[in-house]
Amino acid sequence: AQSVTQLDSQVPVFEEAPVELRCNYSSSVSVYLFWYVQYPNQGLQLLLKYLSGSTLVKGINGFEAEFNKSQTSFHLRKPSVHISDTAEYFCAVSDQAAGNKLTFGGGTRVLVKP
């Protein structure tokens, strides 16, 4: 069985400061990893994904994430946040054997302060 742990439920950060959202997963098979963002009263939007290849993945809106197989982590980073980055962020894992259904972490709420 797969599981995803997002270590921080809330992350307050000042505008233009860097942010890192932590994600650890457990799985007995090779996995695909995703980060989604959810704005209030909206569905989830894909920020970036790791399927294979380079462990440093760049996504939309200036976000990037690094896959670390030995630490089973997939932390999300942004060097300089904007007010508009205030949202909930979800890390998710899937495996092809399970039909690509996603297992999500509990989410991290990012609040960007001016």
Q: How far apart are CB 98 and other proteins at their closest, in Å?
A: 7
Instruction: Point out which span in 11-19, 46-54, 61-69, 73-81 binds other proteins (CB under 8 A).
Output: 46-54
Question: Of residues 85, 103, 110, 112, which one binds other proteins by CB under 8 A?
Answer: 103
Question: Of residues 28, 54, 100, 114, which one binds other proteins by CB under 8 A?
Answer: 100
- How far apart, in whole angstroms, are the C-alpha atoms of residue 6 and residue 36? 13
Q: Which of 95, 111, 110 is nearest to 6 (CA)?
A: 110
Rounded to 5 degrees, what are φ and ψ at 91?
A: -95, 145
Rounded to 5 degrees, what are φ and ψ at 25?
A: -130, 160
Q: Which residues bind other proteins (CB under 8 A)?
A: 4, 6, 32, 36, 41-46, 49, 51, 90, 92, 94, 96, 98-107
